[in-house]
Amino acid sequence: MTNTLSPTEKATLLANTLPHIQHFYGKTIVIKYGGNAMTEEHLQKSFAQDIVFLKLIGLNPIVVHGGGPQIDSALNRLGKKGHFIQGMRVTDKETMDVVEWVLGGQVQQNIVSMINQAGGQAVGLTGKDANLIQARKKLMSNKENPTEPLDIGHVGEVTAINPSLIHTLVENQFIPIISPIGFNPEEGTTYNINADVVAGKMAQILHAEKLLLMTNIPGVLDKDGNLLTHLSTASIDNLIENGTISGGMIPKITSALEAAQSGIPSVHIVDGRIPHCLLLEMLTDNHVGTMITA
């Protein structure tokens, strides 16, 4: 593609980022990385460049990643098929073993390598490291029999986050890359936790200035496929009730709303299919998704 910007226009474009850099300088930004941005090579490259750029200009990006397609691929090779209830993966012991080595190994190390290749200093973590993400079994509501909640295996909910290791890494200019694997130190049990949920909890504990949840669509869409640029508590409740928000979007939206209600100044669901969507969202006025407010 031909570059049509003159040197003066390029300089003006850079100068226009100054107010945004000043606002976010020294602040923590939590980013949930997933969707197409994790599977398409040109989007992987732009994501890694964005993360390194944000770190170099004085922001503190914290990445929590997903890996659903990679888990499904690994399960298929073993002859297993993934099942979901209310957007959560049913996780038996064998599936949990696969989740752990895919997320904490293959996917995490690929992200670490990409960011380091782009000039950053990324470090991979799971919830087991320094008891980073403590968890317990999550029981799902049973619509058919409300008195008997659904047990979907090694699926967890966050009970506590120990941020001390994150603070140490950030202070030494490292970029934490976190796999959403929780651990119960009393039971010695490992849990699969939804990455959007972990990102939301991490943003709350770290008092982040902004939470960004990357997705495969332009943002939250209404029943006609139109982008909803702003959602509040009341509108989210209505959209869940009428089925507009369903499946895997439910934990994403509820996590975003909980983070907003906890005091995170800015929560956005962004279109990860757009190259450099993080820079567009952070350093320009061209927002690329749905803003969630309490």
- Cα 87 off chain centre by: 15
Strands 175-178 and 122-125: parallel
Tokens 């976010």 -> residue:
24
The structure tokens listed for 274 are 């757009």
pLDDT of residue 199: 95
What does pTM read for this prediction? 0.90
Run of H or E including 290: strand 289-292
Query: How far apart, in whole angstroms, are the C-alpha atoms of residue 208 and residue 62?
Result: 9
**Using only C-alpha atoms, what is the Rg of the chain?**
19
How many residues make up the chain in this entry? 294
107 near 44, Cβ under 8 Å? no
What is the CA 142 to chain-centroid distance, rounded? 27
The response to whether 89 counts as a known ligand-binding position is: yes
pLDDT digits (tens, 9 = 90+) for 36-95: 678 889 999 999 999 999 999 999 999 999 988 899 889 999 888 878 877 778 888 999
3-class DSSP state of 263: coil
Q: Of the given ranges (67-71, 156-160, 244-248), which has the lowest mean pLDDT? A: 244-248
User: Is the pLDDT score of 182 beyond 90?
Assistant: yes
User: Is 76 marked as binding a ligand?
Assistant: no
Rounded to an integer, what distance in angstroms lies between the CA atom of residue 275 and that of residue 46?
6
**pLDDT-derived band at 1, boundaries 50, 70, 90:** very low
pLDDT value at residue 220: 84
Range 225-231 average pLDDT? 83
| Token pair in block for residue 153 | 């295996």
Look up tokens 């390598």; give the residue.
Answer: 113
Any binding-site annotation on 68?
A: yes
Distance CA 204, CA 163 (A): 11
**Which secondary structure element, helix H or strand E, spans residue 190, and what is its range?**
strand 189-192
Q: What is the mean pLDDT of the chain?
A: 89
pLDDT at 292 over 80: yes
What is the rounded distance in angstroms from the CA atom of residue 215 to the CA atom of residue 86? 18
Does the pLDDT value for residue 287 go beyond 50? yes
More confident: 89 or 132: 132
pLDDT at 190: 94
- Please indicate if the annotation marks 127 as binding a ligand: no
pLDDT given at position 36: 65
Model pLDDT, residue 15: 92
Query: Using an 8 Å Cβ cutoff, are 134 and 183 in contact?
Result: yes
- Whether 128 shows a pLDDT value over 50: the answer reads yes
Domain made up of 25-288: CATH architecture:
3-Layer(aba) Sandwich (3.40)
Look-up of token digits 């119960």? 184
CA angle 115, 287, 277 (to 5 degrees): 20
What pLDDT was estimated at residue 48? Answer: 97
